[in-house]
């Protein structure tokens, strides 16, 4: 009885995880219990937001900056590796265009930067150039561009 009532109340208050996790939180005193319970709820919400952002981003695979080889990468003189890896170009509202031959790491770099941006709360979308061009042409033909 109490359990179903608690589930209903948590659902009404949009505290979805609380009814599942409250028994896993140690109880020392009320304030500590509530603080730990809400901290866990916030952590679960952030994990869920990250999962949704990554799904919407549409990355074909997972790549990280730690796995990336910078040895054959040539950056413009005004761009530093740190500016890219710390996502400074996003905050500065700068575009990032990667050019090069097949197998030079363009996709790897873009996915790794996009993944880092998404996990830091930015909305990200991944497109191969040809797919983006086709999508734009289709929307233009429908008059929905």
pLDDT for residue 1: 45
CA 119 remoteness from chain centre = 4
Please state the rounded mean pLDDT for residues 71-95.
Answer: 91
Q: What percent of the chain has pLDDT over 90?
A: 71
* Domain coordinates in residue numbering, the chain: 1-57, 59-145
**Which residue shows structure tokens 């549409």?**
58
**Confidence check: pLDDT of 79 > 50:** yes
Please state the rounded mean pLDDT for residues 73-77.
Answer: 88
pLDDT for residue 129: 86
State pLDDT tens for residues 89-145. Answer: 999 998 888 888 898 899 999 999 999 999 999 999 998 889 989 999 999 999 998
**Confidence check: pLDDT of 2 > 80:** no
Q: Which fold does the domain 59-145 belong to in CATH?
A: Rossmann fold (3.40.50)
pLDDT for residue 39: 96
Residues whose CB is less than 8 angstroms from the CB of residue 36 and which lie 6 or more positions away in sequence, other chains included: 25, 26
Residues whose CB is less than 8 angstroms from the CB of residue 113 and which lie 6 or more positions away in sequence, other chains included: 65, 84, 85, 87, 96
pTM equals 0.77
27 pLDDT tier (thresholds 50, 70, 90): very high
pLDDT averaged over every residue in the chain = 92
Q: Are the beta carbons of 131 and 94 closer than 8 angstroms?
A: no
Please state the rounded mean pLDDT for residues 54-74.
Answer: 93
């Amino acid at each position: 009885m109490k359990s179903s009532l608690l589930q209903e109340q948590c659902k009404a208050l949009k505290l979805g995880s609380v009814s599942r996790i409250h028994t896993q939180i140690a109880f020392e005193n009320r304030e500590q219990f509530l603080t730990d319970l809400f901290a866990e709820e916030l952590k679960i919400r952030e994990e869920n937001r990250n999962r949704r952002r990554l799904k919407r981003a549409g990355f074909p695979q997972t790549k990280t900056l730690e796995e990336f080889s910078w040895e054959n990468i040539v950056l413009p003189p005004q761009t530093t590796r740190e500016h890219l890896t710390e996502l400074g170009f996003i905050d500065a509202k700068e575009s990032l265009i990667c050019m090069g031959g097949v197998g030079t790491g363009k996709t790897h770099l873009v996915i790794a930067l996009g993944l880092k941006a998404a996990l830091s709360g930015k909305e990200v979308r991944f497109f191969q150039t040809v797919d983006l061009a086709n999508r734009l042409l289709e929307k233009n033909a429908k008059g929905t561009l």
